[in-house]
Chain A
Amino acid sequence: MNSLDLIRDFAKNHGNIAPETVVPEATLADIGIDSLMLLELLFDFEEKTGITLPKDLPNPTTVQDLVTQLDRLGLQPTSGS
């Protein structure tokens, strides 16, 4: 599973957010992922990958920001959407 798929999967299962709205240019706030949901998402990421996120991870604004961060941490790079 790549980063974008993980975000889409989480958004659907935790927020009933349609996967097609989770596109790189969308802001997380606009699609309904607030700071609390983001915490859950990052926890979910750690659970699925076994990767421990750094405590100083910058707050992402867009889906692409988050994809970039997760890709950098070891998920398969996302190729397109």
Chain B
Amino acid sequence: MSRPRRVAITGIGVGGPWGSDADALFTRLLAGESAVALHERDEDHLAISIPAVHWSGFDPLAELGTHISTLDRSGQLGLVAARRAWAQSGLARTEGPDPRGAVYWGTALAGTLTFERGYREMYVNGRRRVPPLSLLLGMNNTAASHIAIEFGMAGACLTYTIACAAAATAIGEGFRRVREGRSDVVIAGGSDSPMSLGVVRAWEALRVLAPAEPHGAAAACRPFASDRAGLVLGEGGAALILEDWDHARARGATILAELTGYGCSSDAEHLVRPSARGQVEAMRQALADGGMTPADVDYVNAHGTATPEGDPIEIDAIGQVFGAAANTLPVSATKSMHGHMMGATGALEAIICVQALRQGRIPPTAHLETVDPACEGVLHVRGGALERPLRACLSNAFAFGGSNAVLAFRRAED
């Protein structure tokens, strides 16, 4: 019997307002720096003004050239992230299509900007037609397809649309593909640009968006805090290169971290009220899948969206998995600084876990001044980064609809 394959992470890339690479992102997170700002649009009768993460300096034409006609903003952010991850991996594109390569991607609302633009032209502006590539721009699988074309990934090109757990699920499923020996390389991640006017209105109608006041837009997302008031939307792309460990070693690649386990579960209870039971199940699966015990874990990057109802349930679930050790287990919710990037968020938080393992530093939950008593029971990283050697960590992603995905990472060691 051959030994189980291991899965290396050899590249990480982000597309968003954090600079050109994942190191710049992590530096800002360690410093507690929020990318959230007031995002305002005023079109006809549909003015919006919400705290959000928006890459206002993004120049798609300069960044991507010819691709801007066949990718909408969401896909553009994804392609930027994939290119950056690929560049870091040092992989060379094969001459032709590579049947040993694959793309596993996540998105929640890929085409929302494109479709809204089309509807607006017809229903508001009285036009009878829409731009000819609207359908291609708006498809959920367009970003993944572009990435597959660009890097010759011919083994599979799959897109998961599981709301906030989309990218984490995509990474987990891609991880399985490599571990099963069906691919040597998988580009995994996600992208979303969800701030269309209609979608913002829909979020507002659910009453879960954090207001800008009284703390100001940058500090509006306050996970685990007694004064938390909801989530903050964000846009962006995030990508990881998952590679067979031996394949990476054979070509002399730098291995950033190891992806060791993946758990997924379904609450099967309620569309929006999360279930600790389902979350516990996903975390336990991820640990077992990675051959790990709770005692191996030195950090949990929480889903932590800052909704009044969701945060305590996640802390409860962590408590059930880690028992008494939860009291000294470092936990942080980085959405306080990068917002909730919907289908991309699991990939961005996976990258944060990789960076934490590499540097031995945990970014804080920003703006966490007073912990809600209902969220006590873990070691909240707050007031600054926590520096300590890290062996392993978990990344949680829990979606509306009740889908849960948890990824387990280890520091890169032969």
Binding site for B on A (CB under 8 A): 13-17, 32, 36-37, 39-40, 42-43
* 7 pairs of residues in contact across A and B, judged by CB atoms under 8 Å: A14-B66, A14-B69, A15-B65, A16-B61, A16-B66, A40-B132, A42-B132
| Closest residue on chain A to residue B66 by CB atoms | A15
Inter-chain CB contacts under 8 Å: number: 31
Docked pose: A54 CA to B297 CA in angstroms: 65
Docked pose: A37 CA to B62 CA in angstroms: 17
Q: Tell me if B70 and A36 are in contact (CB < 8 A).
A: yes
| Closest residue on chain A to residue B132 by CB atoms | A39
Q: Is B136 an interface residue (CB 8 A)?
A: yes
Known: A36-B69, A37-B69. A16 touches B62 (CB 8 A): yes
Q: Tell me if B132 and A43 are in contact (CB < 8 A).
A: yes
- Residues of chain B within 8 A (CB-CB) of A43 are 131-132
Query: For the complex, would chain B's binding face be called helix, strand, loop or mixed by DSSP majority?
Result: helix
Residues in B31-69 with C-beta less than 8 Å from chain A = 61-62, 65-66, 68-69
Closest Cβ of chain A to B135, distance in Å, is: 11
Q: Is B133 an interface residue (CB 8 A)?
A: yes
Chain B interface: which size bin?
Answer: 10 to 19
- Residues of chain A within 8 A (CB-CB) of B66 are 14-17, 32, 37
Q: Tell me if B68 and A15 are in contact (CB < 8 A).
A: yes
Q: Tell me if B132 and A13 are in contact (CB < 8 A).
A: no
- Residues of chain B within 8 A (CB-CB) of A15 are 65-66, 68-69
Docked pose: A14 CA to B66 CA in angstroms: 7
Task: Give the 3 A-B CB pairs with smallest separation, nearest first.
Answer: A15-B66, A16-B65, A39-B132
Known: A32-B65, A39-B133. 9 other contacts (CB 8 A): A14-B68, A15-B69, A16-B62, A36-B69, A36-B133, A37-B69, A39-B132, A40-B132, A43-B131
Docked pose: A31 CA to B70 CA in angstroms: 16
- Residues of chain B within 8 A (CB-CB) of A36 are 69-70, 133, 136
- Residues of chain B within 8 A (CB-CB) of A17 are 66
Closest Cβ of chain B to A17, distance in Å, is: 7
Task: Map CB proximity to A onto B128-172 as digits: 1 under 8 Å, 0 otherwise.
Answer: 000111001000000000000000000000000000000000000
Residues in B54-101 with C-beta less than 8 Å from chain A = 61-62, 65-66, 68-70
Docked pose: A15 CA to B136 CA in angstroms: 17
- Residues of chain A within 8 A (CB-CB) of B68 are 14-15
